C-alpha cells in the first residue's frame, strides 16, 4: 500500500470517508476532534462517593477513553481489563482541553481491535491543544508547569462536567 498517497489524501479522507481511516488504522490528529465530541470512560461502583464520581477516578495525565465518532458507550466494557459490570461516563473534547492543560490524542489499539481508543494527554504550558504529546512521556515538575492544585482543579472540572451514560452493575 502506498502510504505517501494516503498521507496526501488524509485531509479529504478524514472529512468524507471515516471508514477508510478505520480500515487502514490511520491516526487522527488532535485538531480532528470537534469540541462537542464525546469521550467515553468506564467506571465501577468503587469509583463512587455518595453516588458521585470520585475525583481519584480521573487519572491525569494520560487518561484513556473511547471516541464517540467510532464507538458507543457500551464499548467500554469490551476493553482489556474491562468488565461486563462497568458503567460509563462521558466528557467532551472541549472539557478535556480545560485551561489548555491537556488534549485528546487518537491512539488506536490494533491488537485489541479498538480503533476508537484515545488518551487525554497532559500538555506543558508552552504547548497548544493541537500538539500531540508523546505517549507515556514523563515530565519533570519544573518542565510540566502545572502545580498539584492545578492538576486537581483539572480533574474536579471533569468530575463536575461529566455525563453518566449508564450506571455500573453491582
User: What tens digit of pLDDT does each residue of 103-162 get?
Assistant: 999 999 988 889 899 999 999 889 999 999 998 887 766 556 788 899 999 999 999 999
- 115 is written with which cell numbers? 480503533
Checking if the pLDDT of 8 tops 80, the result is no
Give the residue among 106, 111, 151, 157 at the shortest CA–CA distance from 133: 106
- Indicate the domain borders of the chain: 28-166
Q: Which residues pair with 121 in a beta bridge?
A: 103
Question: Are 90 and 73 contacting, i.e. CB atoms less than 8 angstroms apart?
Answer: yes
User: What tens digit of pLDDT does each residue of 49-81 get?
Assistant: 999 999 999 988 789 999 999 999 999 998 888
Measured between alpha carbons, how far is residue 80 from residues 18, 35, 37, 87, 134 in Å?
24, 27, 23, 15, 22
For residue 45, how many C-alpha atoms fall within 13 Å in the half-sphere facing its CB? 5
Checking if the pLDDT of 13 tops 80, the result is no
Using CB atoms within 10 Å of the CB of residue 121, give its burial: 0 to 12 exposed, 13 to 18 middle, 19+ buried.
buried
Higher model confidence: residue 23 or residue 138?
A: 138
Amino acid at each position: 500500500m502506498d502510504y505517501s498517497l494516503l498521507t496526501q489524501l488524509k485531509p479529504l479522507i478524514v472529512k468524507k470517508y471515516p471508514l477508510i481511516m478505520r480500515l487502514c488504522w490511520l491516526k487522527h490528529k488532535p485538531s480532528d476532534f470537534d469540541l462537542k465530541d464525546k469521550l467515553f470512560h468506564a467506571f465501577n461502583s468503587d469509583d463512587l462517593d455518595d453516588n458521585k464520581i470520585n475525583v481519584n477516578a480521573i487519572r491525569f495525565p494520560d487518561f484513556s477513553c473511547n471516541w464517540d465518532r467510532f464507538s458507543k458507550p457500551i464499548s467500554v466494557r469490551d476493553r482489556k481489563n474491562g468488565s461486563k459490570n462497568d458503567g460509563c461516563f462521558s466528557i467532551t473534547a472541549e472539557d478535556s482541553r480545560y485551561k489548555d492543560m491537556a488534549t485528546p490524542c487518537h491512539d488506536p489499539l490494533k491488537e485489541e481491535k479498538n480503533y476508537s481508543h484515545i488518551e487525554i494527554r497532559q500538555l506543558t504550558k508552552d504547548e497548544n491543544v493541537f500538539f500531540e504529546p508523546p505517549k507515556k512521556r514523563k515530565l519533570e515538575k519544573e518542565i510540566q508547569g502545572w502545580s498539584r492544585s492545578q492538576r486537581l482543579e483539572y480533574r474536579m472540572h471533569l468530575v463536575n462536567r461529566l455525563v453518566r451514560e449508564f450506571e455500573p452493575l453491582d
